[in-house]
Structure 1
């Protein structure tokens, strides 16, 4: 077996911790305070594993979960509560990650309380395992705890989670000497340990028994087969700092300068994850060289491959502070900022390529794609979609970090725009709505910081549209009015007109017909002044609708006739037929059945001329209803039969009949 193979085997095994595993298993069945007082446990049992980063606390949690998984049919779910750089993950984002793993669609723009309630509801009837890794405090954990005693939560933290009752932490430190030596042997093979067992014990002691330090030492020994264990121990003793810092310093110092520079720049990678493209952009080297270097880092245990990540590697969280410290000490700020800019630019180009491959052959986007380097092109839309799905968390984190940086706002705006288009192209606007909501918020942050009124108006309109679609009409109304102010500041007629019409739509949704009509009228006045005829016809129709709701049938009829005239001037025959149909509805409401019949017959004829079979069938069904009310059931049956011949029993033929809730 080669040294690399030995290292891979050693890294994949779990060593020691039998006492801790036994204690944790016993804690599951331990009688809790609720049981002692005669009450049924209202919430999930929480097991807590506490220890410093690098102590193997997450590995212990995963080993426990692997041993228990068969008894929990509801599945295993994971959420990380601390960013690789040490910043707490917002509870809302942790809840979003869990909902995605559960396959539950989240409402776009939902508040933290709503998201955590959805998580608790999802686990309410599941016998599941939930790992909450690297929790900062109880305030992060408590909102995610399921109200289900059959769910088991395994938490990982630095210390006790004060505030969560009935939890006894299982504190982990260094491995016992025997287990530590077994871990080292898994990397080096038995011969190098057997010839000098005392040196192996000394090395384990020098590493403090910490798995994070032992793994680095073992990986370094595997990469240097001619160096003895005793020699490595002497080198570590000559360094200062805690065991993990000394082990990392030794490994970093042994790397060639180009590789060491790539390693340091991985501290800039979003979520601590990088693939060959990311590493290549950060270091300014070729993609193939970056791929080889990442594989070498994995052998040294400086990074680990992300399962199912399609070539992604992740820096262990306990190494990220050490990488950042080296980066600050050795690299000039201008170099670091340039590396960030290269990484963002590469991401933008990949996103543009991923979207372009969804366009038809021969389109301008496909022609531009053909001019890109081969490494930046995807073979087909499926490959681009798979890349986007596997890197979605990293791409969203890239956007957040770019906006937070503040010095790369132009690149941040390009990145967000490319990501929005790629998500919409591959996932569809509906499925991508929760991600798009967060991205539009980031655009708003940049626009407000830079005083970009046009971009601010666009972001507010997009956010308001998503609010309106999810039933938060009051919130949407506030944003639409703010968008109107931003549009005025930018002197952007499109944004102003769109905002005024949307304010009217919000008031219509709230049932305030007077204000809805007023705002539609303002929007119409602007469209009339600019001679935007398609928009004029649409707004006349919207005015006709609100006047119909309000029972002002004379105003409604005038507006629907104006809409019909507008559509006819535009040669939009389906639009003309629909407007006539709505005019016929108003005539019916106004008690003018004969006029209603004539208008409805005219609408059917224009739908026939337009060649719109679905519309023609729907209008004939409306005509049949009108004939029934006029006392002519025989003619009504004829029109219903004609509609059935056109569309069979297709329920969408009734789309016009159900156009108004009050019908």
Structure 2
């Protein structure tokens, strides 16, 4: 919520700000006892949602930003629905904000350790907003005493030593009336100051409630402050709500009931916006209205204090202006209103309507992601032609605009995927959404940079496939997750997933998944240097390919078997494997593959102490590469041939072959001399 900020200006709370700044300089318990402070100082801003606690913390951070050259980072620890954000996800977001790529699939301890290590290298300010408990905050506290943590919570953070609390209640009457006057103008306050004081009292001095009432009055210039107080007083209290929540609930009801039926319905549905972020595309999909009407409605909601523009902390990277393409202005649903919006939606909207609105929103997101990826395709491609047929509001002017949109909304897009999977009744949409998001991330960021996000998305697919008994999708997700585990060096974990993928592939009777899983199991054992098991599993995969007559895969697997036998020192088996691979490539007409396989045969012959045979085989491989026209391969094979001749005691012939290889690289492939 805008809190005690109006028109971009912070109002009141000077006593609290002064106290918080003084706490930064005050000696901690460790200092008083003569010990060095082991961690960063933690300041706590405590208060109910709607009390302006986040605005106060943000104003403090803004004023202190110049003292922390490492910058200011912000993380919200509660989701719009009220559930706590997993610490693992918070750590990933913080690492991303610092330009550190987290390890795909890393657990919470590893990620929070990376956060603390990254923060230890810079003097920075960390704002943790809306913490539910100390367990969310404690793992993220930097070990560097030069850093500062500002935590926002409803109550104390028991368990964090030496935390400095500042409890935020209602605003003082003077500041509260000043805040109200920013919306109503001074005249309406001056003509009836008692009514203004009464209105502030009815709002409990809560900035969020006063912003809503102020916005309502601003939209009605002919309505007096006394009329607003009378209307607010006439609204019934909900006895089931805590007393401290009632002023905000009544102010929300006043604004909600004053909206037209379509606008009120749109407002209620905005609570379903992923990560609480909404733009005209999201709003129009939820409400089933035009893009233009949705944009105007969002502007009106922001003027009423029902939404706030989405911006960052001081020194936090801002997205370029073109990030607004295919979506328009980005707004945020205030956390203090999320529960009230959800309650109103449950009361006024039927479950079938809510489900339809959610499906429309996810479908629109799928189309946006498809457009985001299509813009990276070459001009004239099928994807670009389909892109040209989309509405203008879903298109991007170029890859840069699409990438900026993807970056600005990455948290909302991930949240949309989680929402779709958790729904349980939109699995087809969920699969399409995740597939589109994966393709867009890979197209714009590459598979390595996008690996952390891809790991989470494959995990969502796995959860959905296991819940619905979709064995083919389960096998694919397990294979993708295991591949990422291998990249991160978690080979043992990958091996377990590959075996599970094999079981799922067999249940689905999916030959591709079965063969892929067998090869991957073999590759994992090879990585673990368990040559016996690696050869066994490559043999199983080869038997399946032989039964299906898949010649290219047969040749490749014969080569894999040959390589494993080399590592194990079984040169006879290695020779049979590579000769079979060479024969397979020859039958396929793959001359470069045939040449490479012959080169490996020559290598094994040398290892086996048969240099003359290795020489003849290597000459055959050179001739094959020459016939294939592969200059780089021919040069590499001639260099190997030269090495073999050196070992046979013929330096003159070796020198001739090296010269020929250098001439090939210089004259026919100059760019390949130093690959």
- 1:441 and 1:423, CA in 2 relative to 1: closer, same or farther beyond 3 A? same
1:412-423 to 2 correspondence within 5 Å?
A: 412-423=430-441
Kindly indicate whether residue 178 of structure 2 is the aligned counterpart of residue 182 of structure 1.
yes
8 Å CA contact 2:4–2:207 kept in 1: the answer is no
| TM-score computed with the length of structure 2 as normaliser | 0.93
SS at match of 1:430: helix
Report the count of equivalent residues.
649
Shift of 1:624: 3.0
Cross-structure match for 1:251: 255
8 Å CA contact 1:75–1:129 kept in 2: the answer is yes
Cross-structure match for 1:515: 533
SS at match of 1:113: helix
8 Å CA contact 2:5–2:11 kept in 1: the answer is no
Kindly indicate whether residue 613 of structure 2 is the aligned counterpart of residue 595 of structure 1.
yes
2:559 to 515, 538, 541: 541
Cross-structure match for 2:354: 336
1:600-639 to 2 correspondence within 5 Å?
A: 600-639=618-657
2:190 & 2:661 partners in 1: Cα distance?
A: 89
8 Å CA contact 2:46–2:156 kept in 1: the answer is yes
2:102 & 2:673 partners in 1: Cα distance?
A: 31
Kindly indicate whether residue 419 of structure 2 is the aligned counterpart of residue 401 of structure 1.
yes
2:608 & 2:289 partners in 1: Cα distance?
A: 75
Shift of 1:79: 1.1
SS at match of 1:83: coil
2:248 & 2:4 partners in 1: Cα distance?
A: 20
- 1:628 and 1:145, CA in 2 relative to 1: closer, same or farther beyond 3 A? farther
1:33 & 1:594 partners in 2: Cα distance?
A: 80
1:274 to 273, 278, 282: 278
Cross-structure match for 1:230: 226
Cross-structure match for 1:485: 503
Shift of 1:172: 0.5
SS at match of 1:88: coil
1:255 & 1:374 partners in 2: Cα distance?
A: 29
8 Å CA contact 1:11–1:215 kept in 2: the answer is no
1:37 & 1:643 partners in 2: Cα distance?
A: 74
SS at match of 1:587: helix
1:275 & 1:323 partners in 2: Cα distance?
A: 17
Moved more, 620-629 or 186-195: 620-629
Runs of 4+ in 1 over 6 A off after TM superposition: 648-655
2:332 to 314, 318, 343: 314
2:29 & 2:573 partners in 1: Cα distance?
A: 70
Q: Deviations over 1:556-606 (max 9, x none)?
A: 011111111111222222212211111111111111112222222322332
1:118-517 to 2 correspondence within 5 Å?
A: 118-241=114-237, 242-307=246-311, 308=319, 310=324, 311-517=329-535
Shift of 1:402: 0.9
Shift of 1:630: 2.5
SS at match of 2:355: helix
RMSD across aligned positions (CA): 1.9
1:54 & 1:105 partners in 2: Cα distance?
A: 35
Kindly indicate whether residue 81 of structure 2 is the aligned counterpart of residue 81 of structure 1.
no
Cross-structure match for 2:59: 63
Cross-structure match for 1:93: 89
| TM-score computed with the length of structure 1 as normaliser | 0.95
1:47 & 1:8 partners in 2: Cα distance?
A: 20
Gapped regions of structure 2 (runs ≥ 5): 238-245, 312-318
Gapped regions of structure 1 (runs ≥ 5): 1-6, 656-663
Q: Deviations over 1:136-176 (max 9, x none)?
A: 11111111111111111111111111011011211101111
8 Å CA contact 1:618–1:654 kept in 2: the answer is no
8 Å CA contact 2:4–2:11 kept in 1: the answer is no
Shift of 1:645: 4.2
Shift of 1:301: 1.2
1:43 & 1:642 partners in 2: Cα distance?
A: 65
- 1:75 and 1:639, CA in 2 relative to 1: closer, same or farther beyond 3 A? farther
SS at match of 1:49: strand
2:113 & 2:673 partners in 1: Cα distance?
A: 39
8 Å CA contact 2:39–2:142 kept in 1: the answer is yes
SS at match of 1:344: helix
1:240 & 1:168 partners in 2: Cα distance?
A: 38
1:381 & 1:305 partners in 2: Cα distance?
A: 25
Shift of 1:637: 3.8
Kindly indicate whether residue 575 of structure 2 is the aligned counterpart of residue 557 of structure 1.
yes
Moved more, 644-653 or 14-23: 644-653
SS at match of 1:154: strand
1:360 & 1:483 partners in 2: Cα distance?
A: 35
Kindly indicate whether residue 600 of structure 2 is the aligned counterpart of residue 582 of structure 1.
yes
